[in-house]
Amino acid sequence: METNNLNLVIVSPEKTLFKGEVSNVTFPGTMGEFMVLPKHAPLLSSLEKGVIKYTTKEGEQLLEITSGFVEVKKNEVSACVEQ
């Protein structure tokens, strides 16, 4: 069965901030805000100060960051951030 979700992991140097399934996630990229949806093309981007917004089955979640980077590959989204 095909999934309509992304597996998102957000880590900081101290701990894992989030790990789970989301339907979409929006990042504050250094070249502008961008959204990742299921089946997104592979991507590697740096992040700047702003808010990561992601939607779980409980609703929209917000996480403030100061910097970081993100990798998207085959519905797997991995972000390493500073808060």
Beta strands in the chain (DSSP E): 6-11, 16-22, 24-29, 32-36, 43-56, 59-73, 76-82
Structure confidence at residue 4 as a pLDDT band (50, 70, 90): confident
- Output the domain CATH number for residue 60: 2.60.15.10
Which domain does 41 fall in, by range?
6-75
Specify the amino acid at residue 73.
K
With respect to residue 60, please indicate whether it lies within any of the assigned structural domains.
yes
Q: Kindly report the pTM of this predicted structure.
A: 0.92
Whether 25 is covered by a domain: the verdict is yes
Residue 1: the pLDDT is 37
Do the domain assignments include residue 80?
Answer: no
Question: What pLDDT digit, counting tens, does each position of 5-48 carry?
Answer: 999 999 999 999 999 999 999 999 999 999 999 999 999 999 99
Q: What is the pLDDT of residue 3?
A: 66
Domain count, the chain: 1
pLDDT digits (tens, 9 = 90+) for 51-68: 999 999 999 999 999 999
Q: Is residue 35 part of a domain?
A: yes
Paired tokens of 57:
């089955």
